[in-house]
Chains A and B, each alone.
Chain A
Amino acid sequence: EPEVTQTPSHQVTQMGQEVILRCVPISNHLYFYWYRQILGQKVEFLVSFYNNEISEKSEIFDDQFSVERPDGSNFTLKIRSTKLEDSAMYFCASRVVAGGGEQFFGPGTRLTVL
């Protein structure tokens, strides 16, 4: 069964460093998302992406964050200068069509900022 994959599973970085989290969505999906989950808290929307541009972003997704689909398969989230409060699980999700359809989530990347 097709699935969303994410790498790395765990990333440890120093405050102020740049990190890139990678996702490979399901191959025929067209809509891509990043969510994050701070330990013990709810899952929060960060950004949605369609047709090579951002569709919507939350207030969390400030200038330190960016997303890119550098090729036909990868979808990346970059945090330019990490802060302690960026420590969280980051989930990528994808969906095949607009106006409905399940969002399939990847297993997540645990980001730890020291």
Chain B
Amino acid sequence: QQQVKQSPQSLIVQKGGISIINCAYENTAFDYFPWYQQFPGKGPALLIAIRPDVSEKKEGRFTISFNKSAKQFSLHIMDSQPGDSATYFCAASAWKFGNEKLTFGTGTRLTIIP
């Protein structure tokens, strides 16, 4: 029940296209859903995060869509650029219950081709 399932495992998108990565969770206590970006040899860095009281959050080219009833959330990268090529992890935690560890998805390796 603690798992966060992420798909696809890898994704190739043309420059300028939309990259979409999906995650699903089971634990209804989760109340914070961040996306992390990781470049080779680096630690994960927070990209954007959402709480379940909103259905969408946008920051620049990055948007999280959140469907509470389906227990799913997704990351959309608009106008994808070669610099976006990285591994993306969704995660979840249950802040309200004092359980603030992050449970990560399995990651998506995104490659943006010219």
Contact = CB atoms under 8 A, between A and B. Distances in A.
Contacts, number: 54
Nearest to A99: B95
B107 A100 contact: no
A95 B34 CA distance: 14
Contacts of B104: 42-44
Interface residues of A, number: 25
Interface string B52-96: 000000000000000000000000000000000000010100011
Central interface residue in B43, B45, B49, B103, by most chain A CB within 10 Å: B43
B106 A105 contact: no
B102 A103 contact: yes
Interface string B27-59: 000001010100001111110010000000000
Contacts of A103: 46, 102
B107 to A, nearest CB: 6
Interface residues of B, number: 24
B45 to A, nearest CB: 7
A71 interface: no
20 contacts: A35-B102, A42-B107, A43-B44, A43-B102, A44-B104, A45-B102, A45-B103, A48-B100, A48-B101, A95-B100, A98-B100, A99-B95, A99-B96, A99-B100, A100-B95, A102-B34, A103-B46, A107-B41, A107-B42, A108-B41
Interface of A: 4, 31, 33, 35, 41-45, 48, 56, 58, 91, 93, 95, 98-100, 102-108
- By Cβ-Cβ distance, the 5 closest A-B pairs, closest first, are A105-B43, A45-B101, A43-B104, A42-B106, A42-B104
Interface of B: 32, 34, 36, 41-46, 49, 89, 91, 95-96, 98-107
Given A91-B43, A106-B43, 20 more contacts: A31-B100, A41-B106, A42-B89, A42-B105, A42-B106, A43-B44, A43-B102, A43-B104, A44-B104, A45-B103, A56-B99, A91-B44, A93-B43, A99-B95, A100-B32, A102-B34, A102-B46, A107-B41, A107-B43, A108-B43
